[in-house]
Amino acid sequence: MAETLKVVVTGAAGQIAYSLLFSVAKGDVFGKDQPLELLLLDITPMMEVLNGVVMELMDCAIPLVKNIVATDDPMVAFKDVDAAFMVGAMPRREGMERKDLLKANVKIFKAQGQAMDQVAKKTVKVIVVGNPANTNGCILSKYAPSIPKANFTCMTRLDQNRAQAQIAAKLGVSNEQVSNVIIWGNHSSTQFPDVAHASVTIQGKTMSVPEAIKDDSYLNNEFIKTVQQRGAAVIKARKLSSAMSAAKAACDHMRDWFVGTGKNWVSMGVISDGSYGIREGLMYSYPVKIQDKAWTIVQDLKISQFAREKMDATAAELSEELDAALAECEA
Ligand code: NAD
Ligand code: LMR
């Protein structure tokens, strides 16, 4: 059997973690033969709730779970971890934008970056879920300078899954028939869900999504808005932010990172190297391919004027967020 993999989930007493932990524990992410040690981090007042989560995880009697550690100490939670799901942060409520969380959440990521820097494996693979996810990801990486920047990512997979599901529903096909939808930029209402390079297979024939939908007005307006506003729509309906779908997306993201993407690409927030003219150092969502646990940005896609404007608008928002976050961390 493989060596035990150490996986930390922060915000482990919260609602996303409640779905996420079950999926991770039963092997949906790291494989059905991969033994796991689960490290669960939350804040001190949540330790009793977290204890309940630990009891439930034990009661699932899942053979892959070799050990569970519940703690309020980041130095314990991040010790020698191989994979980190950074969920612990305040969620937004109705009427807020995700960047409104910046002041409350960014310092969490500064402190956790500092702890990770000291005790996590240098190969740790990190997904930031807590909002504002892209900017929190940048801050985490900045304060963990001994860990390669490529090991820090943030989640835009939920947006990708939402976009894919909208297209599948519009065409009356199943989700796996739609591929290569891209999310560019910020996990926010300025994100750009782009189907110009996406394809759909219908009755054995593969064609581009715009060709299949034949309605550019829908694709350039209603479709984009629906995906951009989906998080807010869920909050309005549930009075709580997405949790089941967020946990599923976090699993998809981490599984693809460990297993690879094959011929298709997926979207992830990664630290920009300047690709597609985006400011270096922003955590920007790009289409990526993954092989041998390393992602590379898909290059040379043709960018229309329409796309260029949308990609730049979301980059401008990220630049502002990052500058505000850096100022907050230094205050
Ligand atoms: P929740 O309030 O149910 O749980 C958050 C948990 O984090 C709580 O248990 C809280 O005590 C804990 N926490 C707070 N500060 C912490 C710290 N310093 N260390 C460890 N744990 C800490 O919220 P949720 O619904 O699970 O959402 C968590 C975050 O994920 C929110 O910021 C939300 O906006 C975000 N989110 C992101 C996406 C995405 O697509 N990127 C999707 C859904 C939700
Ligand atoms: C989402 O997209 O559902 C999450 O980021 C939660 C939110 O605040 O929208």
Is 80 exceeded by the pLDDT of residue 307? yes
Q: What confidence tier does 92 reach under pLDDT thresholds 50, 70, 90?
A: confident
The atom of ligand 2 lying closest to the CA of 98 is 8
Residue 299: count of CB within 10 angstroms of its CB: 9
Ligand 2 atom 7 nearest Cα: 231
Q: Which stretches does DSSP call E strand in the chain?
A: 5-10, 36-41, 65-71, 83-86, 125-128, 152-154, 178-179, 182-184, 192-194, 199-202, 205-208, 266-271, 283-291, 294-297
Please name the residues in contact with 106: beta carbons below 8 A apart, sequence gap of 6 or more.
Answer: 135, 136, 139, 325, 328, 329
Q: What are 278's two structure tokens?
A: 């985006």
Residue-wise pLDDT tens digits, 14-56: 999 999 999 999 999 999 999 999 999 999 999 999 999 999 9
Rounded-to-integer distance, Cα 55 and Cα 14, Å: 15
| CA-based nearest residue to 17, from 46, 125, 44, 45 | 46
Whether the complex's predicted ipTM surpasses the cut of 0.95: yes
Mean of pLDDT over the chain: 97
CA distance 176 to 164: 9
Which residue type is seen at 281? G
Residues with Cβ < 8 Å from 287, sequence gap 6 or more?
180, 182, 197, 265, 266, 267, 297, 298, 301
Q: What pLDDT, on a 0 to 100 scale, did the predictor assign at position 104?
A: 86
- CA distances 159 to 155, 166, 328, Å, are 9, 11, 27
d(CA 72, CA 100): 25
Mean pLDDT calculated for residue range 164-179: 97
- Whether 187 sits among the annotated catalytic residues: the reply is yes
Per-residue pLDDT averaged across 94-106, rounded?
Answer: 87
255 among annotated binding-site residues: no
Catalytic hit among 79, 142, 170, 187: 187
Closest CA to ligand 2's atom 1: 231
